[in-house]
Every structure is written in C-alpha cells, then in structure tokens.
Amino acid sequence: MDSLTLASRTPEVAGAAQPAVVAATPKRPSGGFLRYLFRARRWIALLSLALLSVVLLATFVAPWIYDWKTITQVNLDRALQGPGGNFWLGTDELGRDLLGRVLWGARITLTVAFGSVAMGMTVGVSLGALCGFYSNAFTATVMRLMDFMIAFPRTLVAIMVVAIAGNSIMSLTVAIAISTMPIYVRFFAAPVQALKRREFVLASRAIGVGDLSLVLTHIIPNIGSLIIVQATTSLAEAILIGSGLSFLGLGPPPPIPEWGAMIANSRAHLTSHPHVLLAPGCALFIVILSFNLVGDALRDYVDPRSRQSQR
C-alpha cells in the first residue's frame, strides 16, 4: 500500500520540483562583462583588466617612445645604473634602458602569446568540432594522437619543435601553438558531440542544412563563450611557456628583448643589482596573474553554475 501510494505521488513531486530547479538556475548577467564585474564587486578582476589594458596600450606606443636602436645599442659607460630620473627602471649590464626593453619585451611576449593561442585555437577547435561531429576511424585516430601529445609535458613538446625549427619568434609561436592544440581538441570534442544531438540541430538537419553549416551556424556559436574563456587561460600559459623557453635560451636570439631571456641574463646581478631582474620579473608576474584573474572572472560570467557553487 505504501509503495502504491508513493508511486502515485511521484509524478506530482517531480512536477512540483521541476519549476524550483529552473527558478534556482542563475542566468548570465545582462549588460556585458564589464558591468558584471562592477555589479559583482570583482575589484581584483577589474584591477587586473585595467593592468592588462595598460600593458596592451604600452605595446602599441613602445616604438614611439623607444626606438629599436635605443634598446639594443650597447653603452658600457652607463651599465647597471639604478632607477633614477634618466632611467626610470635603471639600465642592464650592457647599459640599455630597462624600461624600454621591458616595453619592447611585452610587445614580443604578447605577440608570441596571442599568435600561438590564435593558431592553436583555430586548428584545435576545428579538429575538436570534426572529431565531435563525426565518429569514424579517422577521428578516432586523431583523438588518440591528441591523447599521445597530451601525455607529454607541453614545455617538452615546445622544446622539441624549437630544436627542429630554430630560434626565432615564429618558431617559438608555432611551438607553443602545437603544444596548445591538443587541449582545444580534447576540450571541445565532447560539447560538439553533445550539441549535435540537440533538437535544434536535428531539426536543421531534417530540413536539409549541410554539416558544415550546422557546425558553423549552430554548434560553434553555442560553444563560443567556452572558447573565449579557454583562450584567456591559454594566454597566461603561453606567456609562461614562451618565457620559460627564452630563459633556457630557446627563444628569439639577442639582442631581441624577451622577458624570459632578460631574466636569464640578469641572474649574475641578482644580489648586487636586483633591479635588473625585478623589472622583467615583475612584469611577467603581473601579466600572467592578471590573465588568470580575468579568465577566472570571465568563466564565472559565462557559466552561471560556477557562480552559484561559490556562494
């Protein structure tokens, strides 16, 4: 009798609980990401976004403030000068202005980071969409190859590519892109596979929409927010990997300023002239931390469930 009573009440309970679940699911805030940061009082994320804006602006104006000759010309008479009026961040061991080299280093570092993420994201999302949309021997082979690449540390993969291609900005960018690509393939294959079974995709296919149009107009736009969040996080990782390779001597050759190479060259002066290491080191720390903080806030903005889990 109790089981029959419970069975008869089950639809009513399920029907009553369903609106509560829907009502409890938070929605994405309206007004854009910047307004969300103000409304949610994410002051640290706002500060990080402002710092990134300043750094990006500095990369554009750097050629007008310091020309290439100023940051590469050796002048031993003013070597290892401390921060002062003429040189706000001091000079390095070869007498070059550290502020100019840090600004140009940001230009080089961010070019490598954005270029590698753009390349890795384009190829990775394309392969991920292909492997998620189709199930055949070719896509299975691609996924196993991506698993094989993920099994290796990303820095090791980048080192192998740079060792083959040589030291240059382009080879460093390609190396980081190749190490980043498997992450996008694995990350986006599952959402594409789930979306292709949704009703709106099946309905579009029923009226004769082709596979390419389905992917480009229905599936990719629905995972666009995930792509943006992953790209923001990948930028911080790309900067860290690129600077690490330059620190090991696998980055752009001298006298091209790069933060990792600048840190490596200043190790001998750490105790006597710490400003030589602190200038590029602090810049690297601030940019990587800012990208991570902005990426974390962007994830909370895109995925309402992550905001709800933090409460």
Q: How far apart are CA 146 and CA 150, in angstroms?
A: 6
H-state helical runs in the chain: 2-24, 33-39, 43-65, 68-72, 98-133, 137-150, 154-165, 169-195, 199-206, 211-214, 220-222, 224-247, 259-265, 275-302, 304-310
**pTM for the whole thing?**
0.82
N-terminal to C-terminal alpha carbon distance within the chain: 42
Instruction: Confirm if 113 and 287 have CB atoms less than 8 A apart.
Output: no
Structure token pair of residue 288: 């990587």
Q: What is the pLDDT of residues 156-179, one digit of tens each?
A: 888 888 888 888 889 999 999 999
pLDDT at 86: 82
Structure token pair of residue 172: 């460093």
Cα angle: 112, vertex 99, 73; to 5 degrees = 85
Q: How far apart are CA 140 and CA 131, in angstroms?
A: 7
Q: Amino acid identity, residue 147?
A: D
Structure token pair of residue 248: 């090991």
Q: Can you give the residue ranges of every domain in the chain?
A: 31-60+88-310
Could you count the other beta carbons within 10 Å of the beta carbon of residue 39? 11
DSSP state for residue 91 in the 8-state scheme: B
pLDDT at 311 over 70: no
pLDDT at 18: 36
Cα angle: 169, vertex 175, 181; to 5 degrees = 130
Q: Amino acid identity, residue 35?
A: R
User: Is domain 31-60+88-310 annotated with CATH 1.10.3720.10?
Assistant: yes
Helix (H) or strand (E) holding 255: none
Q: What is the pLDDT of residues 4-61, one digit of tens each?
A: 443 434 333 333 333 333 334 445 555 688 898 999 899 999 999 999 999 999 888 9
